[in-house]
Amino acid sequence: MPTSNKAAVRDVVVGVDLGTTGVKACVLSTEGNPTVHGEVYSSPLLSHNPGWAEQDPDAIFQTMLSCIRSAIERAEVPPRSIAAISIGTALHSLLAVDDTGRPLSKVLTWADNRSSKQAAILRQSSAGSMLYQRTGMPLHGMSPLPKIMWFYDQRREIFDRTAKFISIKEYVLHKLCGSWVVDYSTASGTGLFNVCDLRWDAEALDLAHIRATQLSVPASPLQRIDSGIHRDFTAAMGLPADIRIILGASDAILSHLGVGAFDLPSCSVTIGTSSGLRVFASSPIVDTISSGAFCYAFTEGRWLVGCPCSTGGIALRWFNENFPGVSGLGKSSEQNSLERDIESALKVSIGAGGLIFLPFIAGERAPGRTPDAQGVFFGVGLHHKREHFIRAIIEGIVLSVCSLFLSLERLGMKPHESRVSGGFAGMAGIRQIIADAFGHDVLTPKVQEACSYGAALLAMHGLGFLRELKEIPNQVQVDERFHPDKERHLSYIELAKLFEDIYHRLEPSFTDLANLRHSQIHLEK
């Protein structure tokens, strides 16, 4: 990294990731081999009612200030060497603010599903299909469009006072520099943005009962915000007073860039709390069959197309927390940590001794799946032990992601290698399972915090250190490459067929179970 005798040289950038449960910052030198210093700060979710998942916007803002300052101090770079910052954000957040920018609500995150009823009404309407084709955003309760409709239906006193509906990133940018601006990709995640025309969609605005002036101005992720950052905040972050801001993009875009997946045959796969599969396309592409794939605008001539899964590593954490390993005395054993259990599970043969896990413990939003889907262990027998359950969970997560490739292939895109990031893929044995199931090479980058790293790389391009976007993959160093084993891949093909057959047989029962739950909630009230 630059030393103090190079303080006048602006050759450092900072990338920020405003994630769902934490803020991450990456400090990146533009000279030679990039050196990264990352910091992670938590920002807890609040859930006051079933299905709600909120955050405190001012707590996130203060967390971001502290996170950036800590990362810069850890990197030991002089403030004058920092040329720019760029900010990424988790998609689908929504915040109502008044005409001074003061919050009228908490931040509703993507995990907040209070607007599922409004989303269902949209899906069943005649306008729903055409709306999806114009916006590229599946009609799901996580989207800001039905959330705004929920405010109109359920919180009219807030709706009527709202000057703007924004994301957490827009709130942060407005506090920093006073601008109401949103990048194309974050706008694409609202369900209100026409990804072909790169402007707010008139019919979507009518459905939400709002005007375009109640939303921020859409702009390229490479746009520089000229108004500058308020001096109090540059001082709090340890940044120079004349620091530049490169607008940045959503976490989906930046994670894709951060692992070096730019064009086919490469795709990016993130398996963190939830999961996602993504590729770049040269034109907007939507899934007219299932209406489940997303299409987010990035820059002119570049769109991100992909599919999500609601469940990833959260299934392992759920199992470990609720069914912990125990010693012979019935007390928790320190040796039965999740890491140790995973090591034991990796020794179990493919198929977990005839145990199949449908990993939909958080519902589902993948193409062709019902949102009512739930988790299922199928085939439990007396011979199954803890390691079989762990193995089944790992394979269920991987197979659910694997099924997303069928949606991409239906859209005419067939990746032949995957660049994988996320906490779930932290162990080499799991990465080998992913390669065996996918049937093609799996690459893991050296920098695991792909979103904040991608934001830093985008800042480098915005400043001209990287002349073209296609140069970004050259900056991403690959740590390991895993090749699939042909015999194991054939075994996973058979396992995937059984996985899908079980799901489709149970799909009507998932809906029946959801109806039963709703009726029980009604009776309890």
Question: Residue 198 in 3-state DSSP?
Answer: coil
pTM above 0.75, yes or no: yes
Q: Which tops the pLDDT comparison, 448 or 145?
A: 145
Q: What is the mean pLDDT of residues 502-524?
A: 81
**Range in 3-7, 101-105, 113-117 with the lowest mean pLDDT:** 3-7
Range with the lowest mean pLDDT among 78-82, 174-178, 287-291? 287-291
Q: pLDDT per residue over 16-26, tens digit each?
A: 999 887 899 99
Question: What CATH number labels 4-249?
Answer: 3.30.420.40
Mean pLDDT, residues 487-492: 98
Helix or strand holding residue 147 (H, E): helix 144-154
Q: Given this model, what pLDDT does residue 33 score?
A: 55
Residue bearing tokens 């030393």:
3
Region 210-216 average pLDDT: 98
Reply yes or no on whether the pLDDT at 231 is more than 50: yes
Token pair belonging to 239: 């940044």
Question: Can you tell me the distance from the alpha carbon of 67 to that of 88, in angstroms, rounded to the nearest whole number?
Answer: 14
Predicted pLDDT at 333? 45
Coil/strand/helix, residue 515: helix
Exposure string for 509-523, b = 16+ CB within 10 A, e = fewer: ebeeebeeeeeeeee
Q: Is 198 exposed, middle or buried (0-12, 13-18, 19+ CB in 10 A)?
A: middle
pLDDT band for position 34 (50/70/90)?
A: low
Q: What is the pLDDT of residue 292?
A: 82
Rounded distance between C-alpha atoms, residue 487 and residue 439, angstroms: 10
Compute the distance between CA of residue 515 and CA of residue 525 in angstroms, rounded to an integer: 16
Take residue 179 and report the two structure tokens written for it.
Answer: 């601008």
Spell out the residues 6+ positions from residue 396 whose beta carbon is closer than 8 angstroms to its own: 315, 356, 357, 358, 359, 499
Alpha-carbon Rg for the chain, nearest whole angstrom, is: 23
pLDDT-derived band of residue 273, with 50, 70 and 90 as boundaries?
Answer: confident
Residue 371 CA to residue 422 CA, distance in Å, equals 24
Exposed/middle/buried for residue 403 (C-beta within 10 Å: 0-12, 13-18, 19+): buried
- Average pLDDT (249-264) is 92
CATH 3.30.420.40 segments of the chain = 4-249, 259-311+413-486, 314-402+501-524
* Contact yes or no for 145/122 (Cβ under 8 A): yes
pLDDT in tens, 432-455: 999 999 999 999 998 888 999 999
Going from the C-alpha of 506 to that of each of 361, 502, 503, 511, the distances in angstroms are: 14, 6, 5, 9
Among the listed residues 132, 149, 135, 287, the one whose alpha carbon sits nearest the alpha carbon of residue 199? 135
507's enclosing H/E stretch is helix 486-524
pLDDT at 521: 54
**452 — alpha (psi -120 to 50), left (phi > 0) or beta?**
alpha
Give the pLDDT confidence score for residue 523 in this predicted structure: 45
Task: Tell me whether strands 417-421 and 441-445 are parallel, antiparallel or unpaired.
Answer: parallel
For residue range 150-179, what is the model confidence (pLDDT) as tens digits?
999 999 999 999 999 999 999 999 999 999
Percentage of the chain modeled with pLDDT above 90: 70
Confidence band (pLDDT; 50, 70, 90) for 272? Answer: confident
Q: What is the pLDDT of residues 107-126, one digit of tens each?
A: 999 888 899 899 989 988 98
Q: How confident is the model at residue 50 (pLDDT cuts 50, 70, 90)?
A: confident
- How confident is the model over 33-58, as a mean pLDDT? 80
Provide the CATH number for the domain formed by 259-311+413-486 in this structure.
Answer: 3.30.420.40
- What pLDDT shows up at residue 332? 45
Closest CA to 419 of 294, 304, 255, 297: 255
- Supply the pLDDT for residue 267: 96
Average pLDDT across the chain, whole number:
90
Write the DSSP string, 465-501.
Answer: SSSSGGGGGGGPPEEEEEPPPHHHHHHHHHHHHHHHH
Dihedral angle over CA of 302, 24, 434, 403, nearest 10: -50
Only one residue has tokens 């980058």, namely 445
Cβ–Cβ under 8 Å, residues 26 and 37: yes
Confidence of residue 330 (pLDDT cuts 50, 70, 90): very low
Contact yes or no for 147/162 (Cβ under 8 A)? no
pLDDT surpasses 70 at 462: yes
- Which CATH architecture fits 314-402+501-524? 2-Layer Sandwich (3.30)
What is the distance of C-alpha 431 from the center of its chain?
Answer: 20
pLDDT class of 428 with cuts at 50, 70, 90: confident
